[in-house]
């Protein structure tokens, strides 16, 4: 990508020196670091908050304390030159995306409201609750913020085999796609439909995620028009979409594919909808809810 470091975005909120704690009954007696890691792994695999289950099982007996997962409280980690470059890159991608959506939104019948992007390490508290880095980047409609641990980019490159700056940009563009859905009321309508039809909850979630992929592609189209992308960048973005498909992740973690548990869509689906946005540059082409 053709980009020039120009400082941190005013919409970047850096919480990397903070430490988010998870509260356990009795201060987490009998649950050491190894136990915490096991509970975290199980929570990620089954997409359920087993930390909350521990709290419920513990009941009200005894005092409660805070167990800090990750950075020791009050002790910030030193920032490397590589990290600072990543922060500058994230700032560029965030601002470039939001500039595009500010221009596009009047065509959609609204006014774009800028989102914030929160940088964190290990774990974070948001308006949507507590989250660990293992859950990956996410958008919280409750506070209209994107959350990302920059360490995810290492996983994207090393674990999922999707290197490159445009692959990294795609992740941010996807989460901002959720912000667009929130502003347009799509996210709220989807949650209401899930409540009315729980059996279709996973399918509706997949459709929401695929639309965010398409919206990310719309930004990619405009990035091409403005000369931001270089040869090979589009391939990086498509590779990133394919790398984090539910079928591929399930195969890596459990050895089997279970479509009934998908929440984001298969690799082929994610590539298809990202490509639709890239090729058309039109939000009208991103109606995943009207597609069989």
Flag whether pLDDT at 56 surpasses 60.
Answer: no
Flag whether pLDDT at 34 surpasses 70.
Answer: no
Distance of CA 15 to the CA centre of its chain: 16
Residue 156: name the closest of 251, 239, 232 by CA: 239
C-alpha distances in angstroms, 182 versus 80, 159, 167, 190, 191?
Answer: 35, 30, 23, 10, 11
Supply the pLDDT for residue 141.
96
In the chain, the percentage of residues whose pLDDT exceeds 70 is 78
pLDDT digits (tens, 9 = 90+) for 87-143: 999 999 999 999 999 999 999 989 999 999 999 999 999 999 999 988 889 999 999
Q: What is the dihedral of CA 247, 245, 232, 138, to 10 degrees?
A: -160
Residue 48: name the closest of 126, 129, 122 by CA: 129
Between 54-58, 154-158, 160-164, 254-258, the lowest mean confidence (pLDDT) is in 54-58
3-state secondary structure of 201: helix
Supply the pLDDT for residue 71.
41
**Mean pLDDT, to the nearest integer, of 2-30?**
71
Burial of 17 (0-12, 13-18, 19+ CB in 10 A): middle
Cα 34 to Cα 36: distance, rounded to the nearest angstrom: 5
Say which residues have a Cβ less than 8 Å from residue 249's Cβ, sequence separation at least 6: none
Average pLDDT in the chain: 81
127 vs 1, higher pLDDT = 127
Supply the pLDDT for residue 241.
77
Domain boundaries, the chain: 21-68, 81-290
Does the pTM surpass 0.85? The reply is no
């Amino acid at each position: 990508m053709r980009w020039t470091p120009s400082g941190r975005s005013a919409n970047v909120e850096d919480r990397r020196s903070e430490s988010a704690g998870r509260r356990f009954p009795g201060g987490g007696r009998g649950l050491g670091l190894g136990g915490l890691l096991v509970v975290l792994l199980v929570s990620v695999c089954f997409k359920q908050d087993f930390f909350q289950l521990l709290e419920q099982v513990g009941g009200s007996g005894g005092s409660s304390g805070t167990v800090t997962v990750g950075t020791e409280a009050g002790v910030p980690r030193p920032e490397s030159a590589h990290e600072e470059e990543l922060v500058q890159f994230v700032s560029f991608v965030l601002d470039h995306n939001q500039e595009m959506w500010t221009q596009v939104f009047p065509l959609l019948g609204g006014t774009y409201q800028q989102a914030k992007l929160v940088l964190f390490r290990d774990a974070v508290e948001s308006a949507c609750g507590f989250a660990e880095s293992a859950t990956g980047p996410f958008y919280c409609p409750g506070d209209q913020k994107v959350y990302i641990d920059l360490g995810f980019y290492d996983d994207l490159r090393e674990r999922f085999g999707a290197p490159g700056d445009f692959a990294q940009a795609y992740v941010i563009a996807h989460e901002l796609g959720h912000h667009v859905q929130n502003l347009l009321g799509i996210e709220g309508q989807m949650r209401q439909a899930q409540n009315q039809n729980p059996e279709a909850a996973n399918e509706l979630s997949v459709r929401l995620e695929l639309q965010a992929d398409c919206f990310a592609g719309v930004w990619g189209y405009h990035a091409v028009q403005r000369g931001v992308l270089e040869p090979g960048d589009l391939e990086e973005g498509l590779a990133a979409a394919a790398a984090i498909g539910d079928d591929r992740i399930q195969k890596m973690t459990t050895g089997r594919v279970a479509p009934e548990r998908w929440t984001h869509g298969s690799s082929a689906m994610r590539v298809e909808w990202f490509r639709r946005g890239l090729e058309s540059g039109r939000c009208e082409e991103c109606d995943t809810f009207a597609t069989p």
